Chain A
Amino acid sequence: SVTEIRSGFTAIKANIQARDPIRTLSILSYPHSLHRVKSSDRCCITHHLFNFYVDKVFKHCKTEDSYVNRKISSIANSFLSVKRKLGQCHEQNKCMCGQESAKKFKQILVNYEGLNVTSAAIKSLGELDILLDWMEKSR
C-alpha cells in the first residue's frame, strides 16, 4: 500500500538523498512540478510513473548497505502490487492519457536520460516523496 511505500521511503530518505549530490536538477519536478498536472491526467501520469520506477529505477539502486537494499526491495515490491491495480484501471479505460501527461512523462524521461543511469536512478528514488506527496494531495 502507499502508506507502506511512504514508511519504507522515510526509513532510507536521508541515506538515499545524501547519495545525490546534484541539487540543480530534478527528475520529477523539472521544469514544472507534478502539482501542475491537470486532475484528468493524474491517473495516467501515476500509471506511467509506477511503470517507470519498476522498469527503470529500482534495479539500478543497489547499495553496499543491506538494510537500504531490503527497504528498496520492500518499496519495489509494493510498487509492483500498486502498479498492478493501476494497470487494471488503464485496461478498463479509466485512466485516460491526455496530451499534457504524455508531454510531462516525456520530459521526465528526458531528465532521467540526461544523467548516467546510476545517478538518475538514485535521484529518482530520492524524489519518491515528491511523487507520494503529489499522489496523496490529489487523492
Chain B
Amino acid sequence: EDALLPAPQNISILSTNMKHFLTWSPVIVQGETVRYSVEFQGEYEREYANESWIPICECSLITATVCNITDDISATVAYNLRVRADVGVGRSEWGTLEGFFNRITTSLTPPLMKVIADGYHLLVELEDMGPAFQFCVLYWKKGQESRMQRKVVKEVSSVVHLDAMEAGPDYCVKAQTYVEAINRSSSFSQTQCVRAQGGRSVWL
C-alpha cells in the first residue's frame, strides 16, 4: 500500500475551557472524498505500553477536518496526536501534532455571570460549564474592597444566594472559574453592582 496520498498538514489543537479539538488542513484529491482517522497516545502509552496508539472511533474515517478529543484527553499529562487520510484504497502516512498537548494549557475564559438583587438578597446566576468547573465568587460593598467576601460554588444550580444586603449601599460582584484537575483559574469576569431597595431590585 504505497502512500500516494500526502499526510494531513497544519495539525493543531484548539482548547478552551477544557474542551479540546484537533484540527488540520484538508487533503485535496480532485473528484474524491477524502476521509480522516485520528489516534492519540498518552504519556502512559509512551512510557509503559510500547508507545502504542489508541484510535478515536468517533473520528475514524470522517470527512470533517476537526475532531473533539475532549473525552480522551482526560489526564494532566502530555499527549501525542496524529491524523491520516484515506481515499478509496489509498492511505497517507500519519501526520503528527507538532509537540505534545497537555490540557493544563487550555485557555480559561471568565464565566458568564448575572448578578441579581432580590429584595435585600444578593444572588448570582452562573453558566454551567461542566463538572470540571468550580466558581470563585467575590462580593463586597462598593468602596470597601478591602472587606471582600469569597464564596466557592461547586455545583451550579440556577440562582445561587450570596448574602443579605443592607438597604442603601451598592454591592459589587465578580467571579472566576477554577479547574481543580489542572489547578488553574480564569481571569475575573466584569464586575457587576446592584443595590437593594426594600423588595425591589435595582440595576446600576
CA distance A73 to B44 in the complex (A): 8
Q: Is the interface of A mostly helix, strand, loop or mixed?
A: helix
The one of B71, B79, B180, B181 in contact with A70, judged by C-beta atoms closer than 8 angstroms, is B71
A59 at interface, CB cutoff 8 A: yes
Q: In which size bucket is the chain B interface? A: 20 to 34
- Between A and B, 10 residue pairs with Cβ closer than 8 Å are A1-B180, A4-B181, A54-B44, A54-B48, A55-B48, A58-B48, A74-B74, A77-B79, A81-B75, A81-B77
Give A1-14 as 1s and 0s: 1 = Cβ < 8 Å from B's Cβ atoms: 10110001000000
Contact B54–A76 (Cβ < 8 Å)? no
Q: How many A-B residue pairs have CB under 8 A?
A: 62
Task: Give the chain B neighbours of A73 by CB distance below 8 A.
Answer: 40, 42, 44-45, 54, 72
B interface vs A, CB < 8 Å? Answer: 40, 42-45, 47-49, 54-57, 71-72, 74-77, 79, 180-181
A1 near B49: Cβ-Cβ < 8 Å: no
Give the size of the chain A interface in residues (CB under 8 angstroms): 20
Closest to B42 in A: A77
Q: Cβ of B74 and Cβ of A76 under 8 Å apart?
A: no
The answer to the question of A116 belonging to the interface, with a C-beta cut-off of 8 Å to chain B, is no
Chain B residues, Cβ within 8 Å of A4:
74-75, 181
Give 1 or 0 for each of A55-92: 1 = CB within 8 Å of chain B CB.
10011000000110110011011111100000000000
